[in-house]
Amino acid sequence: MRRSSHYVTMRDGVRLAVDVWAPASMKPGERLPVVLQQTRYWRTPDIRFPFSLFANPLDYQGIFGRFKRELAAHGYIWVDVDTRGSGASFGNRPWDYAPDEIQDGAEIMDWIVRQPWSNGRIATVGASYTGSTAEFAAINRHPAHRAIVNVSSEFDQYQDILAPGGVPLTWWLDDWGAQTAALDRNEIPGASWQEKLASGGVATVNGRARDRAQAVAEHRDNYDFRELKAMTYRDDFPLITAASASPARRAAQERQFVWLRGKAGPDFLSNGVDLASTHFYLADLRAQNIPSYAVGGWFDGTYANAAIKRYLTVPNPGSKLILGPWDHSQHNISPFTAGGATKFDLLAELLKYLDATIGDRADAVAGDAPIHYYTMGEERWHAAQSWPVANTPLTLWFAGDGGLAPTAPTARLAFDRYAVDYAATTGRKTRFNTLMGRYLLNPYPDRREQDARLLVHDSAPLATDTEVTGHPLVTLTLASSADDAAVFVYLEDVAPDGSVTYVTEGEFRALHRKTGAAPIWQAGPWHSFRKADAAPLTPNAPAELAFELQPISYLFKAGHRIRIALAGHDAGHFARVPATGDASWQVFRDAARASRVVLPVVTR
């Protein structure tokens, strides 16, 4: 591959650093389709001499480093951009996915189509942050934009990453905030002395170290992502009220407001963090009407659910969905074949999709099902025409003696007592830890020790293999001694030897329990998470909480038990609710207040 670097000037004079990766075999005058990625994680690392003699920057770019090579071999050009205020690009960041950043995507496309190597067809591609920029690009409705590949990213930012179930994911807010702040200073987060010796940070544009230094200096006016820890509600937006905002940052904020007023009206700030969420711009996403390939992993934070919501909310013709046994870096971490092959070549699948949408093989995906998903325990891929797949709901009711029963309770009064254990945790090898790129070779090791801290209910041993594919739904009637609660529900598999395998989970903050009409597709009840709908608990008074768990496809084997485990905290990941003091619960399981779980069981 051949790499060239450029500065491209935006409408306001800000210069963005751009790399163009072209096939080494490309002939003069040849025009090819272009794959565009806009990143805030450095478009290319700077590898110093003499390490540059034997180290290739593509080797440090994960799955997309391999994808670039694969695409070049098949006649595509790849363009990487450092988003404004990051990498070697100039400017500052009033917040992530701000209007300036969104509009830059259109100007980069304008620049691409003017180049002699471009045939005018562009797909945006990305994973994690860059998956969101790939989707945000569609808001511009650029005529050259033909397709999106969106791997492992949020759709509804509040629910999918900032505060799943309304419970702030404080560990991630801290960790991601610290790491991106380091990147914006041109530092490798947590770098060893060897890494510092080998790398100068982000690659310059054509060796222009002075330009890079000037660009990094402008990043001092970037916002601090950790300011979002002050958020409770969806309509909070602490990034625009931060007292620490510099004059340059305040000026940048005012510039964003002009665009946002045009999109959302004079009361745009009432939308809070949704202003930085792609689901808020549904009218544009639907009007652009280009296909999107949504990729999610069962252990990839909440991003399998985000992929499903994206696919079903914006059902543009030609869109596809794939759900695999992956973490955030697309490693197979099924507890049954961890580290092994899934017999599915994701990059080949995505290449085929690009061939059909911007390449010269319109029939490349003809006859393929639009949906593929992997069932753990069975260790097998399945194809489907729709989601959710056909299933028969199985309701399991909380029963006495820690049971889960297939029949509803009849008692007039029955409940379990639970003193919330604020030391309860899912550990450091979880679906949320992988969001920082960590490989979870053995996620959620045997949970029986942690479950001793929780309130658990088990089914009888299963008579047959039982496949659960879809979105489990939970309804709890709970009374707490405090005026709020964070409830964590774990679906688990208990083997005959007593070992406990994590299957999936859902978390929910009682403050947000009011339900309403959903603006996007959602499997369970819609909660607005807005200030106006806040409903503090009355201490010691029962309240109903209804919410969904993260989707899953999992085969429980005959002889195993299904377990539901309840916790009031996940130490090391989520905010403590309430912030101080102890709390005790009553979880009701009587005829009038029957706590239960509904599992989507697929007939085999």
pLDDT of residue 370: 98
> How far from the centroid of its chain's Cα atoms is residue 251's Cα?
30
pLDDT of residue 290: 98
Query: How many C-beta atoms lie closer than 10 Å to residue 1's C-beta?
Result: 17
Which letter does DSSP use for residue 249 in this model? H
Catalytic status, residue 128: yes
Question: Which of 236, 300, 458, 493 is flagged as catalytic?
Answer: 300
pLDDT of residue 589: 99
H helices present in 320-381, as ranges: 346-357
* Rounded Cα distance, 452 and 488, in Å: 15
Closest CA to 384 of 375, 393, 392: 375
Q: Do domains 2-375 and 392-602 have the same CATH topology?
A: no
- Tokens 């969420």 found at: 277
Question: Which of 89, 128, 277, 480 is flagged as catalytic?
Answer: 128
Catalytic status, residue 199: no
Provide the whole-model pTM.
0.97
Residue ranges per structural domain of the chain: 2-375, 392-602
Bridge-based pairing state of the strands 596-602 and 466-470: antiparallel
Ranges of the chain with pLDDT below 50: none
Catalytic status, residue 274: no
* Rounded Cα distance, 490 and 38, in Å: 36
Three-state SS string over 183-216 comes to: HHCCCCCCCCHHHHHHEEEECCCCCCHHHHHHHH
Question: Which of 145, 328, 527, 573 is flagged as catalytic?
Answer: 328
pLDDT of residue 247: 82
pLDDT of residue 253: 86
Residues 320-336 pLDDT 10s: 999 999 999 998 889 99
pLDDT of residue 241: 61
CATH number for the region 2-375 comes to 3.40.50.1820
Architecture category of domain 392-602 in CATH? Sandwich (2.60)
388 preceded by a cis bond (ω within 30 of 0): yes
Closest CA to 117 of 10, 18, 15, 23: 23
